[in-house]
């Protein structure tokens, strides 16, 4: 069993058994699957199901990984010993072994270790951090094993060689994987190189699952249809209803799907789901179960089998401890460095604002921070002086949702302010708020007091952490988001934040700022 995070939704890949629902309806088994179930011409897969459409991409990954490993080990050998290299001698060896030979052996072992750590499992490609985590773990295990072998055989491996080869090789592998993933993501956003998915469950839960999977095409799930409990409607969340739950196997065979995704509401029951898994043995169709927990990231999920029953442990979100200390340190150091590096840009923007209309450079506004404490948030001024007093007259033109006020062509915005808003440059003074500890580099959107006054219990959980200069809302649509979607993304961050997630959001923010038209910037 494997827990995989996709499109902010944990999915559980199973190999034949599971527990969902309480009743087990009979489902129709097409002849070709019935033959396999009875044992004729059966070939049981011992590893991850084949994804033939990814075969070329996975071959490229192996080739690029090997190239990066050889490059790293060659650079390490030359940097440490020169072109002629050096030899390793030990009493347990029959002859001296050159470091070029050691490098060749390490290259083979490195690729094998990547295989052992699922580095070429197509299910991990394209979305999430698990692919990168597997690469790091494989590299760490390889050099840990090298240290143990060297100690056991009393081999005096040059420490400088190891200290350079490990970080250089790992960084090159991660960089190569990132570049390869960019290509794969572009293909998937164009509708190619994705799993063909058939959903199963009741209409409400299937609709939620459709939205979750379509929200992030990078994960590689292309939903073709749904088998639901009530087939009276032609579509569910824009996806055609192709049959009842009992027809799932027939429709899967007809549509040549790669994945059957079962929602937590499906009426198959434990027996029905087990039989469904058996019927899919020997085929290239994956069975995926989406448990009824939304917006919970992989690090908080632990699966533990007890008497054949897969129990999913969900850890409580953490708002303290070493991770929080690391986050605070990253915020203060990052803000200080940002102010130093961007000082010429900040001065240039200040001069532009003064020359535009002669008004003040900065605009301060009361916002609500962690635990409901208010603070004065700084921004470069992008509106005419007195813009706040003109707000009531514009409320009838509001294009925002919920308590948010948004106006795509706001008459209060200055000419210079429009440019600053487009590229989010007006937010840069908030680095001072981060340095003072009032904000974080990454966090929920900083709300106004009047917005907080209308918050429900769910939205108030945003205030459990510091607001951020950027966050999930900025890299997933910004002003184009609905109020409910904005709250959902912020709550996902609050419940699942980690320093690694912060780094990923910061990286994606740079890309969003460079392409404002694609991400609702106005």
Nearest in space to 289 (alpha carbons), one of 302, 307, 274: 274
Task: State residue 32's pLDDT score.
Answer: 53
| β-strand pairing of 87-88 with 97-98 | antiparallel
C-alpha span between 342 and 345 (Å, rounded): 5
Q: Indicate the residue among 213, 240, 255 that finishes a domain.
A: 255
Are 240 and 341 members of one domain?
A: no
The answer to whether residue 347 sits within a structural domain is yes
C-alpha span between 64 and 12 (Å, rounded): 30
Task: State residue 512's pLDDT score.
Answer: 79
Residue in the structure block whose two tokens are 């795509």:
408
Q: Indicate the residue among 255, 278, 300 that finishes a domain.
A: 255
Task: State residue 91's pLDDT score.
Answer: 63
Domain range holding 468?
322-518
The dihedral region occupied by 297, where left means phi > 0, alpha psi between -120 and 50, and beta the remainder, is beta
- Low-confidence stretches of the chain (pLDDT < 70) are 1-51, 85, 88-96, 264-267, 269-270, 292-300, 302, 304, 306-310, 315-316, 386-390, 392-393, 395-408, 477-480, 516-522
The answer to whether residue 415 sits within a structural domain is yes
- Please report the beta strands in 327-426, taking only residues with DSSP state E, as ranges in sequence order: 362-368, 374-380
Q: Which residue blocks in 411-478 are alpha helix, DSSP H?
A: 415-422, 430-435, 449-452, 457-460, 472-475
Residue 431 in contact with residue 338, Cβ under 8 Å? yes
C-alpha span between 176 and 460 (Å, rounded): 41
Task: State residue 24's pLDDT score.
Answer: 40
Task: State residue 8's pLDDT score.
Answer: 54
Task: State residue 424's pLDDT score.
Answer: 85
Residue 156 in contact with residue 90, Cβ under 8 Å? yes
Are 218 and 134 members of one domain?
A: yes
C-alpha span between 95 and 298 (Å, rounded): 48
Are 334 and 245 members of one domain?
A: no
Residue in the structure block whose two tokens are 């605070």:
328
Residues whose CB falls within 8 Å of the CB of residue 391, separated by 6 or more in sequence, listed in order:
405
Task: State residue 347's pLDDT score.
Answer: 95
Burial class of 27 by CB neighbour count within 10 A (0 to 12, 13 to 18, 19+): buried
Residue 386 in contact with residue 449, Cβ under 8 Å? no
The answer to whether residue 281 sits within a structural domain is no
The answer to whether residue 414 sits within a structural domain is yes
Q: Indicate the residue among 203, 229, 255 that finishes a domain.
A: 255
The answer to whether residue 192 sits within a structural domain is yes
Are 123 and 206 members of one domain?
A: yes
Task: State residue 522's pLDDT score.
Answer: 47
Q: Computed over its alpha carbons, how large is the radius of gyration of the chain?
A: 27
Are 331 and 248 members of one domain?
A: no
Are 350 and 222 members of one domain?
A: no
Nearest in space to 279 (alpha carbons), one of 21, 122, 44: 44
Domain count, the chain: 2
How would you label 140-164 residue by residue, b for 16+ Cβ within 10 Å and e otherwise?
A: eebbeebeeeeeeeebebbeebbeb
Task: State residue 318's pLDDT score.
Answer: 72
Are 138 and 57 members of one domain?
A: yes
Residue 403 in contact with residue 483, Cβ under 8 Å? yes
What pTM was estimated for this model as a whole? 0.71
Are 366 and 242 members of one domain?
A: no
The answer to whether residue 435 sits within a structural domain is yes
Are 341 and 486 members of one domain?
A: yes
Residue 400 in contact with residue 482, Cβ under 8 Å? no
The answer to whether residue 287 sits within a structural domain is no
β-partners of residue 5 are 10
Are 79 and 221 members of one domain?
A: yes
The answer to whether residue 15 sits within a structural domain is no
Residue 16 Cα to chain centre, angstroms: 27
């Amino acid at each position: 069993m494997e827990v995989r995070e996709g499109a902010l939704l944990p999915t559980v890949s199973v190999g034949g058994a599971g527990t969902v629902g309480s009743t087990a309806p009979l489902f129709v088994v097409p002849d070709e699957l019935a033959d396999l179930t009875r044992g004729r011409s059966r070939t049981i897969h011992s590893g991850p199901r084949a994804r033939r459409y990814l075969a070329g991409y996975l071959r490229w990954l192996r080739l690029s990984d090997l190239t990066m490993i050889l490059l790293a080990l060659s650079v390490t050998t030359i940097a440490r010993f020169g072109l002629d290299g050096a030899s390793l001698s030990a009493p347990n060896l029959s002859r001296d072994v050159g470091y070029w030979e050691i490098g060749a052996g390490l290259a083979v072992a490195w690729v094998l270790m990547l295989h052992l750590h699922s580095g070429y499992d197509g299910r991990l490609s394209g979305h999430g951090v698990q692919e990168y985590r597997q690469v790091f773990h494989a590299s760490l295990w390889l050099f840990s094993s090298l240290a143990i072998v060297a100690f056991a055989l009393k081999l005096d491996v040059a420490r400088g060689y190891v200290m350079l080869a490990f970080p250089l090789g790992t960084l090159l592998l991660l960089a190569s994987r990132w570049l390869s993933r960019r290509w794969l993501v572009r293909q998937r956003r164009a509708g190619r190189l994705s799993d063909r998915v058939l959903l199963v469950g009741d209409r409400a839960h299937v609709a939620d699952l459709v939205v979750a999977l379509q929200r992030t095409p990078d994960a590689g799930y292309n939903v073709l249809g749904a088998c639901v409990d009530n087939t009276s409607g032609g579509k569910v969340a824009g996806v055609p209803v192709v049959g009842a739950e009992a027809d799932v196997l027939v429709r899967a065979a007809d549509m040549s799907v790669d994945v059957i995704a079962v929602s937590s509401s499906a009426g198959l029951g434990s027996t029905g789901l087990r039989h469904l898994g058996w019927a899919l043995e020997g085929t290239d169709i994956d069975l995926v179960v989406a448990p009824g927990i939304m917006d919970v990231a992989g690090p908080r999920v632990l699966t533990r089998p007890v008497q054949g029953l897969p129990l999913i442990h969900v850890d409580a979100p953490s708002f303290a401890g070493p991770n929080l200390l690391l986050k605070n340190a990253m915020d203060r150091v990052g803000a200080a460095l940002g102010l130093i590096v961007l000082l010429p840009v900040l001065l240039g923007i200040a001069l532009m604002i003064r020359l535009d209309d002669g008004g003040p450079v900065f605009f301060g506004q009361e916002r609500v921070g962690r635990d409901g404490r208010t603070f004065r948030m700084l921004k470069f001024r992008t509106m005419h002086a007195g813009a706040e007093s003109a707000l009531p007259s514009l409320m009838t033109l509001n294009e925002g949702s919920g308590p948010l006020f948004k106006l795509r062509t706001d008459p209060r915005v200055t000419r210079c302010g429009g440019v600053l808003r487009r590229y989010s440059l007006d937010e840069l003074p908030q680095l001072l708020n981060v340095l003072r500890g009032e904000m974080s580099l990454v966090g929920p959107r900083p709300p106004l007091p009047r917005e907080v006054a209308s918050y429900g219990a769910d939205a108030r959980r945003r205030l459990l952490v510091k607001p951020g200069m950027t966050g999930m809302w900025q890299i997933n649509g910004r002003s184009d988001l609905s109020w409910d979607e904005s709250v959902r993304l912020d709550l996902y961050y609050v419940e699942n934040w980690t320093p690694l997630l912060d780094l990923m959001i910061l990286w994606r923010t740079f890309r969003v700022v460079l392409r404002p038209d694609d991400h609702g910037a106005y």
